[in-house]
Chains A and B, each alone.
Chain A
Amino acid sequence: MIVNKNDFHSFLKKVNNGLGNINEVIVPYRARSDDENPSFHFQRFEENKILFLDFFRTIDPIKILFYLFREKVYPIKNKNLKRVIVGVKACDLKALHLLDKAMLQSGFVDPAYKQWRDNSLIISSDCDYLHETCSCNLVNGHPFPENGFDLNLSVIGGNYFIQIGSERSQEFVELMKKEITVANSTVSDIEIVKANREKVFNRLIEKNNNLTHSGDFSEIRKVEHKSWEEVSEACIGCGACTNICPSCYCLILNDESTDKDFIKVRSYDSCQWYGYARVAGGGTPRPKMTERFRNRYLCKFDYMYKNFGEFGCTGCGRCTEACAAKIDFRQVVKNVSSVAQEVN
């Protein structure tokens, strides 16, 4: 399908105002318009702001909309608030896919996450520009969505090329067809999208050329602690990397019960913090910073792989961007994986 950009924006405006019983539309806006290096964050749709649906991922990961920093999980209230989230990137879709596996398909269902997930329609979009830390190509990803979306947008000049990714988007598409002109796409449209995707992907490969690693992490646990000490030397253990990681979901369960009711609230935790795995009596399996640093990489490339059959890293590069000690995640992965190859 092809729609005009301005038409689509005016349609979003109507949806945001309650069309189709939808409560809100969330889109990426520029975080600071005066900044030379653009950055984006998810905000509620506003009529007079400029939309950027191409570009790259937002500063904050998609998990902040599905797995909130602080959220009551017992007792659980019904959140039947239908919403549409536009401009989600491929890396964040992969993160949602991982969160689904952890929170919906591991034998238990996180009730709050499930409600957000059930009530959100996801309209993803291709990346047309690259952030300096973008590296999805290093972890089997692409800068354009392949699955996990309800609808996907690709920019072709003044139009959006729309791809349907789920059955449940049908209702939304019907609504859109009633409101704005929707044309059929042609073979040449598909060709343009394909060529553009290839161009961006190649640019990404070129950009990360010197950071490429083997992709085989089966021996990562054999890497000696000395190598980890070297790469983690600068780490101050602030936990920014795990808090901003779209696929990190370690939690603290706070008891906020009153005299009358039991209340459980969960919030983010970080395996980088000393108290993380500490047990009664003071013992902890990872007392040193370097051990906790190592734990994060093993979690992403070994434990998650073991549990979900996929790497826990989406290549969004947010941890590198957020790091107070300027540690480049990609560089660490490259160094460690090359040591792992030698061990092998």
Chain B
Amino acid sequence: MQNPYEVIPADVYEVIQESPLIRTLRFKPKKPITFKTGQFIEVGIPGIGEGPFTPSSSHYIVDDMDVTIMKTGFLTEQVHKLHAGATIGIRGPFGSNYPLEKFKGKDVLILGGGCGLAPLRSLFLTMLHDNKDYNSITFLAGAKTPKDCIYKDEVSEWRKYDNVRFIRAVDEVPPGEQWAEDVCLVTKLLQKINMKPDGNPAIVCGPPVMMKFGTFDLLKYGYKEENLYLSMEKKMYCGFGQCRHCVIGGYYACKDGPVFTYDQIKNEEAIWD
């Protein structure tokens, strides 16, 4: 019998400052954590507490993981104080994953903004591992300003694949900053690409307001409700449906999600809050 509260210690070996507010922790768990892309883990600092984060690394690598974390509250502030050499505690993995089997042979659209790119990077890297299995992959990534763009060093690598498009947009370019790519809301990029909504999946993750309008736009362009995959974020405290903090109508974001189709949760309340 596995104890769901079991903590797996992990050694942080690198901390990458992605943007002023976002850092990626790279760590090696003392015991391999086998997860499916889209699932989340609880990342804990001894004596402080823990919070749910989705790994941003490929699920093909189980002994070396990344999590990308934005400084936004008490715990994440403590996370940002960590340096290489720190020990953290991991529980999990928990929840549902992206159904890659259903994406095979399809034109996959990924829409993300801000720190929402974290789980999408995991999905993207996992798909790149067998990129020939997918007809095409289009990744639309948004950020507030050029400075807020994350995974900067990896972009040129991601753009080398024939069947992969990685398009970025920033909301605005403040004076003094350089930007040669699109300047618009990430959802506006949808108009620029040649979308193939028919039967193809779209995956959305980002700040609540971006997810809301991104979802509505995709529906407008003809994506089907059951093909829209949303990564929901609630207070996933225990990770397995016992603590009940993350309830979305009778669903639990931790156990039934975090990956939901829009079709599943469209009638529930406060899903964008």
Which of these, B3, B48, B208, B245, contacts A276 with CB under 8 Å?
B245
Residues of B within 8 A of A264 (CB): 5, 7
Stretch at the interface among B133-141, B149-157, B168-176, B229-237: B229-237
Would you call A277 and B243 a contact (CB within 8 A)?
no
B76: CB under 8 A from chain A?
yes
A76 to B249 Cα, complex, angstroms: 33
- With known contacts A108-B242, A256-B47, A285-B273, A280–B72 Cβ distance under 8 A: yes
B202: CB under 8 A from chain A?
no
- With known contacts A251-B238, A251-B242, A269-B245, A303–B250 Cβ distance under 8 A: yes
CB distance from B69 to the nearest CB of A (A): 10
Would you call B7 and A74 a contact (CB within 8 A)?
yes
Least CB separation from B1: chain A residue: A109
Least CB separation from A109: chain B residue: B1
A281 to B209 Cα, complex, angstroms: 14
B184: CB under 8 A from chain A?
no
- With known contacts A252-B237, A264-B5, A258–B245 Cβ distance under 8 A: no
CB distance from B11 to the nearest CB of A (A): 14
Chain B interface extent, by class: 35 or more
Chief secondary structure at chain A's binding surface: loop
Chief secondary structure at chain B's binding surface: loop
Q: Tell me the chain A residues, 31-87 only, with Cβ under 8 Å from chain B.
A: 73-74, 76
Residues of A within 8 A of B244 (CB): 249-250, 271, 299
Would you call A253 and B273 a contact (CB within 8 A)?
no
CB distance from A266 to the nearest CB of B (A): 8
- With known contacts A256-B47, A299-B247, A277–B234 Cβ distance under 8 A: yes
Would you call B5 and A111 a contact (CB within 8 A)?
yes
A233: CB under 8 A from chain B?
no
A74 to B235 Cα, complex, angstroms: 21
CB distance from B91 to the nearest CB of A (A): 8
B51: CB under 8 A from chain A?
yes
B49: CB under 8 A from chain A?
yes
Would you call B7 and A262 a contact (CB within 8 A)?
yes
A284: CB under 8 A from chain B?
yes
Residues of A within 8 A of B214 (CB): none
Would you call B48 and A255 a contact (CB within 8 A)?
yes
A306: CB under 8 A from chain B?
yes
Type the 1/0 row for B43-71, where 1 means its CB is closer than 8 Å to any CB of A: 01111111100000000000000000000
A280 to B52 Cα, complex, angstroms: 11
B255: CB under 8 A from chain A?
yes
Stretch at the interface among A99-107, A164-172, A189-197: A99-107
A266 to B1 Cα, complex, angstroms: 19
Residues of B within 8 A of A284 (CB): 273
Which of these, B49, B76, B242, B250, contacts A102 with CB under 8 Å?
B242
A286: CB under 8 A from chain B?
yes
Residues of A within 8 A of B4 (CB): 108-110
A110 to B50 Cα, complex, angstroms: 19
A278: CB under 8 A from chain B?
yes
Residues of B within 8 A of A257 (CB): 7, 44, 46-47, 89
Residues of A within 8 A of B (CB): 73-74, 76, 102-103, 106-111, 114, 221, 249-259, 262, 264, 266, 269, 271, 276-286, 295, 299, 302-303, 306-307
11 more contacts with CB within 8 A, not counting A255-B89, A279-B73, are A74-B3, A76-B5, A108-B240, A251-B242, A255-B48, A255-B49, A262-B46, A279-B235, A280-B75, A283-B273, A299-B244
